[in-house]
Amino acid sequence: NNDTVSWVRGKCIGKGSFGNVSLGVDKSDGRVFAVKSVDRMACIPSQLEALENEIRILRSLSYSSSSPYVVQYLGDDESYEKTTSFRNIHLEYLPGGTVTEDHDDVDELTLRSRIWCLVSALKHVHSRGIVHCDVKGKNVLVGHAPGLVKLADFGSGKGHSMFDSGAPISPRGSPLWMAPEVVRGESQGPESDVWSLGCTIIEMVTGKPAWEDHGVDTLSRIGFSDELPAFPDRLSETGRDFIQKCLRRDPTQRWSCSQLLEHPFMAAAAPDSV
């Protein structure tokens, strides 16, 4: 479809709010990867800005050792296809869909393994001075084994220098997964990702967001009440305790990813193979 790059665009495999994700095939070796693209002419400026932001963050994450639980960044380029020009990110292709799609088939052992991968990914990201800001089921992709998942979508992410300046913040991410302090516009640090992780675990069990969407009313319950989302009955007592450690309203009382990896729910939870 185009002669300017060394790969061919294949079928569409995902649509988000910012990018269009398709398969890409390398012309020389037939290798398959995922391509997240923004059409330069048809997009609104914030879409291109999110893609450029994602590229900066993925580059900074790829400088030193990478995590097997973060979707691997393979590079970025521009392509000219018919009359349009695309800005593209090349990513490792994950074949298993998102964790929200297959929640019904997942037993607690697989669930624990998935959570272990996700906490490990976040620990890595946080140790590199980055906050993901959009942890939710649609951004967690299933790999080659059911217990192996990887964190994707760094379009809303931010770097260390932007944590905690003390000034009011503009919340990033998806409202139903936002931590109370984020909804209130106070701060958005690594602890805020842990709250979103708690909401994501509930979503991984039920297939639905932790909070029902009633618009502004829900946001005021998240930000300004004592309420917590309902914990799924299907989960063991240990699992429910784990969620509780993520969903502490006071961000200073919330467990860090390092602490969460030591929680009994994570004992022997690591996947067998990467």
Residue 100 touches ligand ADP, criterion: CB under 6 A: no
Is 217 one of the catalytic residues?
no
Return the residues of window 142-201 that contact ligand ADP according to CB under 6 A. Answer: 152-153, 155
The DSSP bridge partners found for residue 159 are 130
Closest CA to 22 of 36, 6, 8: 36
Question: φ and ψ at 30, to 5 degrees?
Answer: 75, 5
Q: Are 144 and 95 in contact (CB under 8 A)?
A: yes
Residue 91 touches ligand ADP, criterion: CB under 6 A: yes
For ligand ADP, which stretch binds (CB under 6 A), given 38-46, 77-85, 89-97, 191-199? 89-97
Count residues binding ligand ADP (CB under 6 A).
21
Residue from 134, 213, 217, 233 carrying the catalytic annotation: 134
Return the residues of window 11-50 that contact Mg ion according to CB under 5 A. Answer: 16
For ligand ADP, which stretch binds (CB under 6 A), given 14-22, 207-215, 219-227, 261-269? 14-22
> By C-beta, is 46 or 127 nearer to Mg ion?
46
- Tokens linked to 270: 């690591």
Closest CA to 17 of 216, 151, 173: 173
Question: φ and ψ at 7, to 5 degrees?
Answer: -140, 165
Among 21, 148, 179, 243, binds ligand ADP (CB under 6 A): 21
Find the shortest distance in angstroms from Cβ 13 to ligand ADP.
5
> By C-beta, is 173 or 239 nearer to ligand ADP?
173
Find the shortest distance in angstroms from Cβ 148 to ligand ADP.
13
> By C-beta, is 23 or 270 nearer to ligand ADP?
23
Residue 16 touches ligand ADP, criterion: CB under 6 A: yes
Closest CA to 145 of 13, 266, 273, 269: 273
For Mg ion, which stretch binds (CB under 5 A), given 24-32, 78-86, 145-153, 188-196? 145-153
Residue 34 touches ligand ADP, criterion: CB under 6 A: yes
> By C-beta, is 141 or 197 nearer to ligand ADP?
141
Q: How far apart are the first and last CA of the chain?
A: 34
Residue 76 touches ligand ADP, criterion: CB under 6 A: no
Binding-site ranges for ligand ADP (CB under 6 A): 13-14, 16-19, 21, 34, 36, 71, 91-94, 98, 138-139, 141, 152-153, 155
Residues with a known catalytic role? 134
